[in-house]
Structure 1
């Protein structure tokens, strides 16, 4: 009976040792899986950060490009408005000068002098163009 009890104890010890080895193997396997998951998570985070930075740079570049285009459009519009305003001012000044000159001419010039001044004006206007 003592021998039988001793064999049972040895069997239990061997069984416990085997189960301990199996548990350690399972633990090592899970630790490896956890480490793999951590590595994968770090890779995903690094990739997401990289993609985010690239997107940020693209957005900034697009915004700068759009701002430059808007500035160019605004400059072109300003130039068009400036040219239009100058043309209007020139036209208005021409009208006023002609009216003022007409009043002076009507009062002081003979019809022949009047005709000569008109011809001179036409020649000068042609030279300005």
Structure 2
């Protein structure tokens, strides 16, 4: 052991004092450095955990919003399809109504035109009859004025028969 002591150069009291100093230094470091460092690490761990929980909450909220957005979008698409279908149906019904009205108006116009034509035809026939009557009266008055001989009389009868017959 002497050889060791001469090599290292420590006496047993020095060794005890060094151990005590090391222990005191360790206790001081533990009291003033280790506990605050552990406290700081615990706070940092707590901050990280809160950040993770906030991130999870934000992700959950984002997923909820995305689901809500998807649902609203689907409802909007359904509503748009419903509105389009309704508008198409109304347009079809209105188109059919317009066609019915137009065909009814056309039928009424044809009926009025036929009635008008028939009235004009009757009017023309009446005018022709009146004209024929007037001519007949005029011819009769001329014939009466003129002295009819037998040859003229036969000729007039033959003309009348040929026209009538």
**TM-score of the two chains, using structure 2 as the length reference:** 0.60
Deviations 1:15-69 (A, max 9, x none): 2112211111122112211221121022112101110121111012101101110
Pair 1:8-2:47 in alignment: yes
**RMSD between aligned alpha carbons?**
1.8
State the match for 1:58 in structure 2. 97
State the match for 1:117 in structure 2. none
Aligned residue for 2:146, secondary structure, equals helix
State the match for 1:114 in structure 2. none
State the match for 1:97 in structure 2. 136
Aligned to 2:112, which of 73, 88, 96?
Answer: 73
The higher-RCO structure (CA 8 Å, 6+ apart) is 1
Aligned residue for 1:108, secondary structure, equals coil
Distance 2:132 2:50 in 1: 120
CA positional deviation for 1:2: 2.5
Pair 1:23-2:62 in alignment: yes
Deviations 1:50-106 (A, max 9, x none): 101211110121011011101101110111111011111111111111211222233
CA positional deviation for 1:109: 5.1
Gaps of 5+ in 1: 111-129
Pair 1:44-2:80 in alignment: no
Gaps of 5+ in 2: 1-39, 150-165
Larger Rg: 2
